[in-house]
Amino acid sequence: MLFSIGVLMIGLLFLLTHCIYLFIKKSKSDVGKRKGTVTIKYMAFLTLLAALGTGITTSYQIQDVQADSNTNPAQLSTTADATVANATNLNMTEQEINQQNKTAVDMMNEEALKPNILTDGTKQFYLTASKFAWSLYPGKVMEGWGFNSTIPGSLIRVKVGDQVDIVVHNLLTETMTVHWHGLQVPNGMDGVPGMPNPAINPNGTFEYKFMVTPQMIGTHWFHSHYHDDFQVDAGMYGVIIVDPKDHSDQSHYDVDKLFTLGATKVDGVDPENVFMINGKSYPYTPALNLKKGQRVRLRLVNSSAEDYHAVSLDGYNMTIVAEDGQPLPDPQTVNVVSIAPSETLDVSFTADRVGDWWFHSTIASELSNPDDNQDTLGGMMTVIHVK
């Protein structure tokens, strides 16, 4: 816009100079005509150069701004979203915060979204992507992007042989998709923009339809595959658990729980600086209560867009029994479980030691909350009570 104004100024100045020249040409005597013509032409030339220089300078300034804006699109989105968040009422009542904290407990307990059963037996689920206020820890509320107004989004649970229809509606101001990580779905249902289907535009809807196969058994997750680095950290992800048709893998465990290990960015920084379990940072993380002797399967999902995590359960070793949904032929017993971004691991242990045990990241920077002056501990940690 500024460049267009500069060009317009050049044209007006040239026209004005030309009019002055014609006026003086008409009024000058024959004796002074040549001298006046030279003077006016010289003045016109200098004026034109000055105006042209202003326009060129404006053009370079615009190009510099555009170059800077193209160097870090994720940062620009974060800045823009922060502006939107500041203009949005993020005040939350204690009741709203408590209700959100309960969703973290429900996620741990694997309370899944209930489908509509269509006349042909298809299980139909609805996911709505939108922005909403999300409480991370005491005193910190962010503008979350997520499915069905929760972070993580609603848990989807299906079994082998199910025909599913997952209807996704986009209420965001940005396009998005859903990618079913680890599931061999038809290419058109994979949620990669343009391969072959386009992303879901704002206020658009797309239906993901596929048959659940034995390859899909296990712990998996879904997430937006558009502007991943920003959208996933903002909350655009969820978990999908696929059970065998006969639930044969359930018999070995007394307790089956889910922890999503997530991260986000607050206070305008670029690296992930808030670390969560089921969308909450300690002390809002869900605590797990067990009885002595119970055999436990704990499903772990690294939903962070960027960071590896290394978690430990004090007082216990954990055995990795499945990776990305696939059972391991040689389960590994470890003290610290390392999990990469987008990876899922199923770990097991027997609750044979009574007490209150920390389940936590072993990375120091993931055990505090930004701007939290009330609690020295925070981030990716919770307590497992064994009685």
> Which stretch of 2-11, 101-110, 196-205, 244-253 has the lowest confidence by average pLDDT?
2-11
Contact 291, 334 (CB under 8 A): no
User: Going by C-beta distance under 8 Å and a sequence separation of 6 or more, which residues neighbour residue 126?
Assistant: 116, 148, 166, 167, 169
Tell me: the pLDDT tens digits for 87-136? 457 899 999 999 999 999 999 999 999 999 999 999 999 999 999 999 99
pLDDT tens digits along 158-169: 999 999 999 999
Out of 22-26, 79-83, 348-352, the most confident range is 348-352
d(CA 346, CA 14): 75
Give φ, ψ of 288 to 5 degrees. -110, 125
Q: Is 256 helix (H, G, I), strand (E, B) or coil?
A: strand
Residue 219: Cβ within 10 Å count: 22
How many residues in total does the chain contain? 387
Q: How far apart are CA 311 and CA 317, in angstroms?
A: 11
The answer to whether residue 327 scores a pLDDT higher than 70 is yes
Q: Do 142 and 134 contact (CB within 8 A), yes or no?
A: yes
Identify the pLDDT of residue 136.
97
- 117 three-class SS: strand
